[in-house]
A and B are shown apart, each in its own frame.
Chain A
Amino acid sequence: MSPIAGRRRVVSRAALSSAGFALALVVLAPYVVMVCTALKPEAELRITPPRLLPLESRLGNFLDVLGDPSFRGWLRASLVVALTSTAIVVLAATPAAYYTARHRFPGRSAFLLLVLVTQMFSPTALVVGLYRQFFELGLVDTYAALIVTNAAFNLAFAVWILRAFFATIPREIEEAAAVDGCGRLRTLARVVLPLSLPAIVTAVIFAFIAAWNEYVVALTLMTDPARKPLTVGITSYVTAYVQHWNYLFAASVLAIVPVVVLFALIERHLVGGLTAGSVK
């Protein structure tokens, strides 16, 4: 490489880096405001002109939120709903993904189409129907209603991810297990699942985050303040009567940081699961 071409490359890489840095700044700027506001004491929220950085950082806001019995209730609700619905997703999606990856049978295409359509339908469009259903079943204000709703709408992603992964596992491994006397279910449990751990982790993380962030069904079904999940509960920090923006954002930071870390772990697999059917 000639010295001039080499220098041009360095310059263009520097230009790319600065463009990338500018992009990161634009994306993160709102969340920087979130963190800074979460650190402000109550009195600093209403300073004009507004400033970004707190005059005096108050980490105690986070402790206040963590110690708030309401917050603990919302956190418990979010954890119960997200963890249980994720477990259901994995238990329901695994056999379906395995069977459709390994067998051709009448109705296979129809089943996969049905799964795809559920992925496109967020519960938002159906919320009036969902409310009628749970109202008639007497399940308004129960975790059960939220859990099954989240499980059903997050099923599709898990089916796609797991099915694509199962298809890459050589049949010979399973045939060897069968020769050794393993039944179908045991082959799945002892041989296929351990090999599929990356796909299962991806499915688990995605289903957990989707349920953790779900808002509209929780807003509609959960009226008991003690059973609201975080997404609905924390909005009561800022209403027409009280404006604890610092607590709202401290709680938001606590809710967002773990899911961003989890999301980053599965980043590479996301597109495949979300654009199902388009990747052959």
Chain B
Amino acid sequence: MGHWPALLWLGPSLALIAAVVVYPVAALVRASLSRYSITGLYQGSMGASNYTRLLEQEALVTVVANTLIWVVAIVVVTIAASLGIAQLLNEEFPGRRLVRWTLIVPWAASLIMTSKLFVWLYDYYFGLLNQVLISLRLLAAPVDWLGNDATVMGAMIVVGIFVSVPFTTYVVLAGLSAIPGDVYEAARVDGASAWRTYRSVTLPLLRPALLVAVVLNVIYVFNSFPIVWTLNDRNPGFAHDTMITYMYKIAFKSALRDVGLAAALGCVNVLVILLAVGVYLRTVSWREAEA
């Protein structure tokens, strides 16, 4: 008997992945080598010229720099905050379940709805953020958070952290619960202080969970679309876009409507993600686990 039964049982999944993941990748690569009219009609091959044009785009340097800042700032702060929050939620205290449930809200809520909510909170005239900061005397005058070149990236990063912390905290919590209690007992017998125990026992044992959290967050944050799309939508040009929103604007929004150019950037984005997936597979030592 051959391997036909396997193909039968895996068939539906394979068909779905082939039709909606593999095919679009092929369509993306082909589009990056082609030229299209504004209405989307194929106008022939372009060779690699979409890629050379991509390198000539004035906005590219800014967009790549924005992407780096966006990913690094969100992932670093999210990991640091989640370490603390997970430590807190790992302790027994009255109301712990309730606190764990509240953490689910930003995770389960639609990102576009949360993004709209922050547009309203950041509003220059009617937003509560300015009001609260002024009444706490942290601000002398209201700030146009999303309309000011100096503040818009920071304002978006805050939202990115806000929605990334719940997942990350849950991953760290899972890591913490996997640490056996007797290592803490041993540290206590040795007379180690709480901080010392954390640094030399907890953190090293959390390493695998943390690595997974870092790599997955890098992928999620790099891929993130609704926050920048929504909070930055009043600002013209590409000064605050990431590689993902820049690609989207080139393809669908700007006067360019340049599918070939957007597809070239799309291919670059896919390569970035593939790279991160490779790191993830090494991190979790995939072969050992599955082969």
A residues whose Cβ falls under 8 Å from a Cβ of B: 13, 16-17, 19-21, 23-24, 27-28, 30-31, 33-34, 37, 45-50, 52, 88, 91-93, 95-96, 98-100, 103, 105-109, 111-118, 120-122, 124-133, 135-136, 148-149, 151-153, 155, 159, 209, 212-213, 215-216, 220, 230-232, 234-235, 238, 245, 248-249, 252, 255-256, 259-260, 262-264, 267, 270-272, 274-275, 277-280
Q: How far is the CA of A88 from the CA of B17 in the complex (A)?
A: 12
- 5 CB < 8 A contacts A-B: A50-B126, A111-B10, A125-B223, A256-B113, A274-B216
Verify B111–A113 contact, CB threshold 8 A: no
Q: How far is the CA of A153 from the CA of B102 in the complex (A)?
A: 27
Tell me which of B60-68, B69-77, B263-271 binds A.
B263-271
Closest 4 CB pairs of A and B: A129-B28, A129-B24, A152-B20, A99-B9
Residues A133 and B131 in contact in the complex (CB < 8 Å), given A117-B277, A275-B171 = no
Contacts of A37 in B (CB 8 A): 120
Residue of A nearest to B178 (CB): A279
Residue of A nearest to B29 (CB): A129
CB distance from B72 to the nearest CB of A (A): 19
**CB within 8 Å of A: which B212-269 residues:** 212, 216, 219-220, 223-226, 244, 247-248, 251-252, 259, 262-263, 266, 269
Give the contacting residue for B95; candidates A17, A45, A103; CB below 8 A: A17
Interface of B is mostly: helix
CB distance from B48 to the nearest CB of A (A): 17
Verify A124–B110 contact, CB threshold 8 A: no
CB distance from A98 to the nearest CB of B (A): 7
Tell me which of B51-59, B149-157, B181-189, B283-291 binds A.
B283-291
Q: How far is the CA of A280 from the CA of B17 in the complex (A)?
A: 25
Contacts of B216 in A (CB 8 A): 274-275
Give the contacting residue for B108; candidates A47, A129, A259, A278; CB below 8 A: A259
CB distance from B226 to the nearest CB of A (A): 5
Residue count of chain B within 8 Å CB distance of chain A: 102
Residue of B nearest to A130 (CB): B24
Verify B120–A122 contact, CB threshold 8 A: no
Residues A231 and B117 in contact in the complex (CB < 8 Å), given A111-B10, A113-B286, A129-B25 = no
Q: How far is the CA of A92 from the CA of B11 in the complex (A)?
A: 8
| Number of cross-chain contacts by CB at 8 Å | 279
Residue of B nearest to A212 (CB): B110
Contacts of B103 in A (CB 8 A): 23-24, 27
Verify A105–B118 contact, CB threshold 8 A: no
Contacts of B29 in A (CB 8 A): 129
Contacts of B101 in A (CB 8 A): 264, 267
Residue of A nearest to B102 (CB): A24
Verify A133–B113 contact, CB threshold 8 A: no
Interface of A is mostly: helix
Q: Does B98 contact A (CB under 8 A)?
A: yes
CB distance from A139 to the nearest CB of B (A): 11
Given contacts A17-B94, A103-B6, 16 further A-B contacts (CB under 8 A): A16-B91, A20-B93, A99-B5, A99-B6, A105-B3, A113-B286, A126-B266, A131-B251, A132-B263, A151-B16, A155-B17, A216-B225, A230-B110, A256-B108, A259-B108, A277-B281
Residue of B nearest to A152 (CB): B20
Q: Does B141 contact A (CB under 8 A)?
A: no
Give the contacting residue for A27; candidates B40, B93, B102, B259; CB below 8 A: B102
Q: How far is the CA of A112 from the CA of B121 in the complex (A)?
A: 43
Give the contacting residue for B111; candidates A111, A152, A213; CB below 8 A: A213
Residue of B nearest to A253 (CB): B113
Verify A234–B102 contact, CB threshold 8 A: no
Q: Does B78 contact A (CB under 8 A)?
A: no
Contacts of A45 in B (CB 8 A): 126
Residues A50 and B131 in contact in the complex (CB < 8 Å), given A129-B28, A212-B110 = yes
CB distance from A109 to the nearest CB of B (A): 5
Verify B289–A277 contact, CB threshold 8 A: yes
Q: How far is the CA of A227 from the CA of B4 in the complex (A)?
A: 40
Verify A92–B16 contact, CB threshold 8 A: yes
Residue of A nearest to B250 (CB): A128
CB distance from A221 to the nearest CB of B (A): 11
Q: Does B89 contact A (CB under 8 A)?
A: yes
Verify B3–A106 contact, CB threshold 8 A: yes
CB distance from A102 to the nearest CB of B (A): 9
